[in-house]
């Protein structure tokens, strides 16, 4: 049994986008705040802080996770993936990100980090999604610029492109 006292800080170690990171957190610190304020990874956005808006969605040990409904202490030793890990290099966007750019699937961009994480997670596991599947997935996110239509278009376009890339690889 491990007991962390309310007003003390404890080290939290995790793998963030395949890089080990460590910082201190009080037991009550949310993963969203830990990422932004302790690690400085501000790509993950914080909207409603009660699990409704989806802006803070990240991936913890392969599970889509609202980082505002998760304590930093809970993910000690876990693998966390955030939007910062999507681009293959600092000067290049990933296929999904490029599709978002082409289709104007973001306006203010506040909800985008969370939506990208949900879609990245989903498309890896479901390479040929139907539009209805994408809509169902997006029901877990709020976009107040009401950009859902271009988001769906970008997601389907990215899925098609990812499928083509995979085929080429298998032919090689």
Tell which one of 43, 93, 140, 145 touches other proteins (CB under 8 A).
140
Residue 148 beta carbon to other proteins: minimum distance, rounded to whole angstroms: 12
Q: Distances from the Cα of 14 to the Cαs of 2, 60, 73, 81, in angstroms?
A: 17, 10, 10, 10
Between 94 and 140, name the residue whose CB sits nearer to other proteins: 140
Q: Is 73 in the site for other proteins (CB under 8 A)?
A: yes
Residue 7 binding other proteins, by CB under 8 A: yes
Within 86-115, the residues that bind other proteins by CB under 8 A are: none
Q: Are 122 and 140 in contact (CB under 8 A)?
A: no
- The verdict on 147 binding other proteins (CB under 8 A) reads no
d(CA 22, CA 14) in angstroms, rounded, equals: 7
37 Cβ contact list (under 8 Å, min separation 6): none
Q: Is 71 helix (H, G, I), strand (E, B) or coil?
A: strand
In the complex, least distance from residue 104 CB atom to other proteins, rounded to whole angstroms: 23
Cα–Cα distance, 45 to 67 (Å, whole number): 9
Binding mask 8-27 for other proteins (x = CB under 8 A): ------------------xx
- Measured CA to CA, the distance from residue 83 to residue 61 in angstroms comes to 15
Q: Which listed range, 65-73, 92-100, 147-155, 164-172, lies at the site for other proteins (CB under 8 A)?
A: 65-73
The DSSP 8-state label assigned to residue 119 in this structure reads H
Q: Is residue 33 close enough to count as binding other proteins by CB under 8 A?
A: yes
Q: Which residue is listed with tokens 């389907």?
A: 156
For binding to other proteins (CB under 8 A), which residues are involved? 1-7, 26-28, 30, 33, 49-51, 54, 57, 63-66, 68-71, 73-74, 118, 122, 136-137, 139-141
């Amino acid at each position: 049994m491990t007991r962390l006292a309310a007003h003390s800080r404890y080290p939290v170690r995790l793998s963030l986008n395949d890089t080990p990171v460590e910082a201190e957190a009080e037991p009550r610190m949310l993963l969203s705040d830990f990422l932004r304020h302790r690690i400085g990874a501000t790509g993950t956005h914080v909207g409603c802080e009660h699990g409704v808006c989806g802006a803070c969605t990240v991936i913890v040990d392969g599970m889509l996770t609202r980082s505002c409904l998760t304590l930093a202490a809970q993910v000690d030793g876990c693998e966390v993936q955030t939007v910062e890990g999507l681009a293959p290099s600092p000067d290049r966007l990933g296929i999904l990100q490029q599709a978002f750019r082409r289709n104007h699937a973001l306006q203010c961009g506040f909800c985008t980090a969370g939506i990208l994480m949900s879609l990245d997670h989903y498309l890896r596991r479901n390479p040929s999604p139907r539009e209805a599947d994408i809509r169902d997935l997006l029901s877990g996110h709020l976009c107040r610029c009401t950009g859902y239509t271009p988001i769906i278009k970008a997601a389907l376009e990215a899925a098609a492109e990812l499928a083509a890339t995979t085929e080429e690889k298998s032919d090689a």
